[in-house]
Amino acid sequence: MDEQEIQRRIRAGRDFLKAPVEDPDYQSDQELKKPQPPLFKAPMGGTVCPLSMDFSALPVDNDFLHVINTRESRRVYAAQPVNLLQLSYLLWCTQGVKAIRGRSYAALRTVPCGGARHEFECYLAVRNAADLPAGFYHYLPQKHALECLRREDHLEPFLGTSTCGQNWTEKAAVVFYYSCICYRAEWRYGIYAHRIVMADIGYVSENLYLAAASIGLGSCALGSIDRAVCDQAFGLDGEEEFMLLAHPVGTVDAKDRPAEADFYAFVKEQGL
């Protein structure tokens, strides 16, 4: 790729981030009174595992400032599994449904979202969880339940490949994968939807960071994913719904701090 093409793409990316000048003659599908898309994706046919909403047994750090100050990206995970209640807590904190606005106009969730469209679906690759077989799962927020899409005992090759060779993800207890069903946002915002989508996914990911930190788990969001590999693994069509972000989570141990620091060894080596 030559320098001219590089600069063209940089400018295009910056233009995408800028607030658009709205065309007064343009109307979104909502303004045209077209039927809105479903608030939730229908179950995909897997065995459903209900999740508990009683988090009293979890040692949640309720000191919000402490959670903020201690939250950080963690890429080195211990061998201990996460448990089902911890997964339930993380799912509730990131995609839980608190109420429905109107009869079925919008879902009010535990994360903010432009127009309350909540255009994301959450999938899990569970590698090391107590009381939950390893495999691929889909979260059902309206039921606060997981459905098992298929069991898979050896997920390590998929985890590394799906995250573009970031092999440290192979040690994660579970990797959260977030897909986007674009029309949920496009119905309301039309041609202006996609910049909003990128802001919305940040809210979800930050809630996962904070929720994980509040119960002593480590996590690290990843934008570098092999979308085609992810889409195929979870049965997505790649057009109306496609994967957008991965977020590994695992148990952490203080003795692994030196290994965590090794990820930034280049800073010292290059004198940055």
Give the start-to-end residue ranges of the domains of the chain: 44-269
The predicted structure's pLDDT at residue 198:
95
**Sign, CA torsion 79/85/86/92:** positive
The predicted structure's pLDDT at residue 249:
98
Q: Tell me which H or E stretch contains 103.
A: none
Q: Tell me which H or E stretch contains 98.
A: strand 97-101
Contact 78, 250 (CB under 8 A): yes
Contact 16, 116 (CB under 8 A): no
The predicted structure's pLDDT at residue 36:
96
Angle in degrees, CA 217, 145, 167, rounded to 5:
40
Distance CA 160, CA 236 (A): 19
Q: Where are the beta strands (DSSP E) in 127-214?
A: 135-140, 145-151, 174-181
User: What global pTM score does this model have?
Assistant: 0.95
Distance CA 54, CA 32 (A): 43
Contact 41, 219 (CB under 8 A): no
Q: Which of 74, 22, 84, 26 is nearest to 50 (CA)?
A: 84
Q: What is the mean pLDDT of each run of 10 residues along the chain (272 residues)?
A: 94 90 91 96 95 97 97 96 98 98 95 96 98 96 97 96 97 98 97 95 98 98 97 98 98 90 78 72
The predicted structure's pLDDT at residue 58:
97
DSSP state of 68: H
Domain spanning 44-269: CATH superfamily: NADH Oxidase (3.40.109.10)
The predicted structure's pLDDT at residue 263:
83
The amino acid at residue 240 is E
Structure-token pair, residue 170: 């192979």
Distance CA 272, CA 266 (A): 8
